[in-house]
Amino acid sequence: MLTFPNAKLNLGLYVTAKRPDGYHALETVFLPLPWADALEVLPAPKGQTGPSLTLTGRPIPGEVATNLCLKAYELLKADFSDLPAAQLHLHKIVPIGAGLGGGSADAAFALRAINDVFKLNLTVAQLEGYARRLGADCAFFIENKPCLALERGDVFEPIALDLRGTACAVVYPGLHISTAQAFAGIVPRAPKMPLREALGQPLSTWRDTVSNDFEASLAPVYPVLADIKQQLYAAGAAYASLSGSGSAVYGLFPELAEAPALPWPSEYLVWRGQL
């Protein structure tokens, strides 16, 4: 089975409280982004006794054995002792450490594919439960639909967004920002306006009402983030923001027919239908 684990964007991101379990409570909207890796999951060849994973594309730090795709298999194997060995191949395209959720998507799509290939008959709720054990935002990619995310970013409420014809330019400045580094500069606080309310207003108002709490602490350390955001606005974006805890910065352009001229490499995408 060949699948395409897609990235996500954060529309607004507020760190609202420190939880008793050490995690932070969040308020954000996850939006699927049509920029994807490729993941193939097949039954292993006869004689192979355990799972295998090969990698191509962007280099992935760390040992292959620690990859979330293999961890997804092992998580299911612990509950399904007769799960056959699997052969996985991941071609990495989405940047790493960019706030785009690429690794989380790979893990969630691995769960979904293993469930389908080996007919485990797990429900969406069960798959989300496994995904939560792999990472805070992994569960989003099981249903992979726009949603308001709360708590650790793993409690979801539906949200309606109409971005038909809206173009999105995503700029990755080549920085890997760790989650620990990003959270180190955060002081939790309640947002001035609930995110659902702010995003219900016209796109032209988001610049003044929707923000990402990580920008205030990361931009002084990495000035290029503010530079990219300024360039996106100069190119005609109605709204621009850091995604997640960075380092990708994106701009939303209403009814734009062609990609803006930017001094950084970027991905340019257009939403064709209502989300």
Given 8, 106, 154, 213, the catalytic residue? 8
Q: What is the dihedral of CA 237, 243, 247, 248, to 10 degrees?
A: -50
- Residue 62, marked binder: no
Place of tokens 């990235």: 7
- Residue 103, marked binder: yes
Given 37, 106, 137, 213, the catalytic residue? 137
Catalytic residue list contains 82:
no
Let me know if 70 is exposed, middle or buried by CB neighbors in 10 A (0-12, 13-18, 19+): buried
- Residue 99, marked binder: yes
- Residue 65, marked binder: no
Cβ neighbours of residue 65 under 8 Å, at least 6 residues apart? none
The torsion angles phi and psi of 184, rounded to 5 degrees, stand at -60, -30
- Residue 104, marked binder: yes
- Residue 96, marked binder: yes
Catalytic residue list contains 37:
no
Helix residue ranges, H only, the chain? 68-79, 102-117, 124-134, 140-143, 179-184, 195-199, 206-209, 214-218, 223-234
**Orientation of helix 68-79 relative to helix 102-117, angle to 10°:** 40
- Residue 105, marked binder: yes
Let me know if 65 is exposed, middle or buried by CB neighbors in 10 A (0-12, 13-18, 19+): exposed
Return binding residues. 95-105
Active-site residue set = 8, 137
Return binding residues for ATP. 95-105
